[in-house]
């Protein structure tokens, strides 16, 4: 099933990478893809928690940072981490309907 997913370095998870339209996959393959996605999807909140922890560490560094250039770098890092979290939530929510199909 891993051939239907590709690892996204930025997000830190594998995301669906389907070569065919959904209907062109056999029911067995669809179920296997959905099962694999559900496992990945279940890990997204943990990945978000890791990123939030990193943001908190960087915010603590930022509050004690007096060097303007370093402050800007920390702010940029925090913004990028927040963007990743947003994208992860989008994957988590947008694909909830796919996960619901598994249970129907």
Banded pLDDT at 32 (limits 50, 70, 90): very high
Q: Tell me what pLDDT residue 65 has.
A: 95
pLDDT top residue among 42 and 2: 42
Q: Compute the distance between CA of residue 29 and CA of residue 45 in angstroms, rounded to an integer.
A: 26
Predicted model pTM: 0.84
- Of 38, 36, 37, 44, the residue nearest 12 (C-alpha): 44
What digits encode the pLDDT tens for the residues 40-73? 999 999 999 999 999 999 999 999 999 999 999 9
- Of 103, 91, 83, 67, the residue nearest 15 (C-alpha): 91
């Amino acid at each position: 099933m891993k051939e239907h997913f590709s690892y996204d370095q930025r997000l830190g998870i594998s995301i669906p990478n389907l070569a065919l339209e959904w209907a062109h996959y056999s029911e067995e393959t669809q179920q296997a893809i959905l099962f694999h996605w559900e496992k990945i999807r279940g890990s997204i909140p943990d990945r978000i928690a890791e990123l939030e922890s990193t943001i908190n560490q960087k915010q603590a560094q930022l509050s004690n940072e007096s060097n303007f250039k370093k402050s800007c770098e920390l702010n940029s890092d925090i913004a990028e981490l927040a963007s990743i979290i947003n994208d992860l939530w989008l994957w988590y929510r947008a694909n909830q309907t796919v996960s619901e199909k598994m249970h129907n």
